[in-house]
Structure formats: C-alpha cells, structure tokens
C-alpha cells in the first residue's frame, strides 16, 4: 500500500470475490483520507485480519463461504464492535438483508453493481465509510441539540417517501434529526414483517421517537410516524394534528402509498409542508410531491448517483416537482433548514 497520512481511515475489505475486492479498493483509494489496509475472503480470515490490522471500519459481504456475513456481523458487534458497511449482492431478499444488517449494527447497506461495468456505483462507498466512522460502532443516539426547537416554526411538517434502498437512505437522513424535530411522517414500501424491525432499529439510532402509526395517533414535534403495512396514512382534514389510517385500494400498486400521504399533506398543510422523495422503483409519490410544490411547500428528491433505484425521484424531477435532485448527504439539512424559519417571518 502507498504511504498515507496517519489520520487516514483504515479499511478492511471482506468479500470472497477478488473482482469485487479490487473494485471497492479502487473506489476507496481515490480518497486520500482513506487507506485500504487489507483484505479477507471469508469470516475466519476477517477475524484474524481485524486482530492483526486493527482497522477503523470494515466492508462486509453477506454471501460468503463457511460463515455468512450476518452471522459474522452479530459476532463482531458482540465481541469487538466496529463500524461496518455491508456491501452485498442485490437479491430478492435484499430488503430482509438490509433490515437485518442494520438491526445487527451495520452503519450502512450498499448493493454491489452487476459486474465491472457498474463499478461507478461504488463511488458512494467512500462517503459511506466516512459516515460509518463518524457514527461509531453502534453507539446510542446522542441527545442532539433540542434548542433548535425554539427556532422551528410549529406549523412545519416533514413528509418522506421511499421504496427500494429506502431503509439505508432513511437511516442516513433521520440520524441527523434533533430530538425535538418537526412532526415527521414516512411511507416506506416494505414487507409487513420487516416494518416493526425497521421502526425498532430507527429508535435505537435516532434522537426523536420513532413508531408505527395508528389511527388517531397525535402528530407532534419529536415524533416520527411510519405507515403500517396494508393501510394508507394521511392527515385528518378536521384536525391536522391527527393521523388517519385507511383500508382503501392500493394506489400505484402500493398500500400504503406515498402519493396518498403527500396529496393529503398538500391539501391539509399546504405551504407548511417540507417533503422529500427518496430512492425507489416506479412513480409512487411523484404526483403527490408535485401537489405539495403547487401548494407552496418545499420539495426535495434524491439524485441518481446516491439512489439504489432512481425511479420515484426521477419521475418527480421530470414532472417539475423539484428544481434539481440532491445527493443523500444533503437531504437532512435541506429538510430541517426550511423548518427553522423564525416564527415572526412566517406567522401566517
């Protein structure tokens, strides 16, 4: 390895594919603040490499011989906690793997490109490595500065929609939210059995309270509501501080649907909406985001480079619901900043 600064982040790459190890190393070595200190082809080699090399962070494949990555991750977090970025193949069970990895303590979960032609998708890896080190090895959420609450316009609400790749994207966004964040409502397309695990995981990582919405749940500062599987979530027209759940037909093939939430927000909250459409396949949420923009709200969409699937945000951009897509790292601040407008400046 070439000499680098002592302060460089030391990375161990764990993957049974020499090709993938090479692609990841190439992407990481473009960052002068990151040093790839070693490689391991399976969990047993990784165990010895961690003892010998003492890395700051590891990348971890899930499908490996002799011991799968999730089993190794559980042992690692129990015996020698380290920041971990899971980098694995996209399969039918990707959502299950993503939720399980995050629940076990991984900082992020990325999906491998299909062969060398997709190597540019690893461009996001250095940023994920840096975020993982900053987060630390599964530390409890800090009591983030709740004094910003005095600067938050109490009328502001945040609305988020995501699908494929949204678990990791939402973790990245919500970890930056202060304990007394604006009321936040989320629709994430996800199989029913994973939603409780996801909500539980977010609660361990985020300063605000995260819970699965119920009909009649109060919408208030410091609370993040996730739509349950099989029910649409919207705001009450009679009381904008109340969450309503409805067993109506799917919209855009989904129940819950992002469009249902976003269109409800545009109708009930109007210009006080701050909404973002994150990574996901299809177009759910694009029309709703446009409705929020037409109502005077703030609208954001994740960009192609940082999305696992640039479907929903792309359609929103093409419809004119956003001026330009943003990289994931800028989404949290772009959601919170419009909510910090002094009350006297937006008293209407």
Q: What would the pLDDT profile of 237-266 be if each residue is shown by its tens digit?
A: 999 999 999 999 999 999 999 999 999 999
Work out whether strand 209-212 and strand 232-235 pair parallel, antiparallel, or are unpaired.
Answer: unpaired
Could you tell me where the beta strands, DSSP code E, fall in 76-175?
Answer: 84-88, 108-111, 157-162
Residue 189 a catalytic site member: yes
Residue 216: count other Cβ atoms within 10 Å of its Cβ.
11
Q: Is 334 a catalytic residue?
A: no
CATH number of 146-346: 3.40.50.180
Measured distance CA(114)–CA(192) in Å, rounded: 28
> Distance between CA 164 and CA 150 in Å, rounded?
35
CA nearest neighbour of 97 among 128, 129, 61, 133: 61
CA angle 113/282/206 to nearest 5° reads: 75
> What sign for the dihedral angle of Cα 227, 228, 232, 236?
negative
Write down the catalytic residue from 15, 100, 108, 163. 163
> Of 15, 61, 168, 189, which is the active-site residue?
189
Regions in the chain scoring below 70 on pLDDT = 1-6, 90, 92, 113-121, 136-150, 341-348
pLDDT score, position 341:
64
Is residue 187 classed as helix, strand or coil in its secondary structure?
Answer: strand
pLDDT in the model for residue 122:
80
Question: Residue 134: what pLDDT?
Answer: 77
- Say what the pLDDT of residue 344 is: 38
Beta bridge partners of 247: none
| Alpha-carbon distances, residue 57 vs 26, 176, 205, 215, 283 (angstroms) | 17, 21, 18, 42, 36
Residue 119: what pLDDT?
52
Q: What is the pTM of this model?
A: 0.72
Q: Is 207 helix (H, G, I), strand (E, B) or coil?
A: coil
* pLDDT for the residue 310: 93
Instruction: Return phi, psi of residue 327, to 5°.
Output: -65, 150
- Same topology for domains 9-135 and 146-346, yes or no? yes
State how far the Cα of 29 lies from the Cα of 138, in Å rounded to an integer: 25
Q: Which of 168, 284, 287, 303 is catalytic?
A: 284
d(Cα 227, Cα 184) in Å, to the nearest integer? 11
- The ranges assigned to domains in the chain are 9-135, 146-346
Are 224 and 199 in contact by the 8 Å Cβ rule? The answer is: no
User: Which stretches of the chain are DSSP H helices?
Assistant: 18-28, 43-53, 69-79, 94-104, 125-135, 166-174, 195-205, 258-268, 286-294, 312-319, 331-336
DSSP structural state of residue 5: -
Active site residue 163: yes
CATH for the stretch 9-135: 3.40.50.2300
């Amino acid at each position: 390895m070439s000499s680098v600064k002592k302060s460089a982040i030391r990375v161990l790459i764990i993957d049974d594919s020499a090709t993938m190890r090479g692609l990841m190393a190439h992407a990481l070595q473009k960052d002068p603040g990151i040093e790839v200190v070693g490689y391991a082809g399976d969990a047993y080699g990784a165990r010895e490499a961690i003892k010998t090399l003492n890395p700051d962070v590891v990348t971890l494949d899930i499908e490996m011989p002799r011991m799968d990555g999730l089993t190794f991750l559980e042992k690692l977090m129990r015996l020698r906690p380290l920041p971990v970025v899971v980098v694995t193949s996209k399969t039918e069970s990707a959502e299950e793997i993503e939720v399980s990895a995050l629940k076990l303590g991984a900082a992020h979960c990325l999906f491998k490109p299909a062969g060398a032609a997709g190597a540019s998708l690893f461009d996001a890896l250095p940023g994920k490595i840096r975020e993982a080190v900053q987060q630390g090895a599964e530390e409890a959420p800090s009591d983030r500065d709740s004094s910003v609450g005095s600067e938050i316009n109490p009328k502001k609400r945040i609305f988020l929609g995501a699908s494929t790749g949204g678990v990791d994207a939402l973790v990245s966004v919500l970890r930056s939210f202060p304990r007394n964040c604006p009321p936040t409502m989320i629709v994430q397309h996800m199989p029913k059995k994973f939603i409780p695990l996801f909500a539980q995981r977010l609660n361990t990582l985020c300063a605000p309270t995260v819970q699965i919405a119920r009909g009649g749940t109060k919408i208030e500062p410091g609370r993040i509501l996730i739509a349950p599987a099989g029910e649409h979530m919207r705001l009450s027209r009679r009381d904008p501080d109340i969450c309503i759940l409805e067993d109506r037909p799917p919209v855009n093939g989904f129940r819950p649907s992002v469009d249902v939430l976003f269109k409800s927000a545009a109708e009930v909250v109007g210009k006080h909406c701050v909404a973002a459409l994150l990574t996901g396949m299809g177009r759910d949420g694009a029309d709703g985001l446009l409705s929020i923009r037409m109502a005077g709200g703030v609208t954001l969409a994740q960009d192609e480079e940082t999305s696992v699937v640039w479907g929903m945000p792309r359609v929103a951009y093409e419809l004119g619901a956003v001026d330009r897509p943003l990289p994931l790292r800028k989404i949290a601040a772009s959601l919170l900043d419009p909510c910090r407008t002094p009350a006297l400046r937006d008293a209407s």
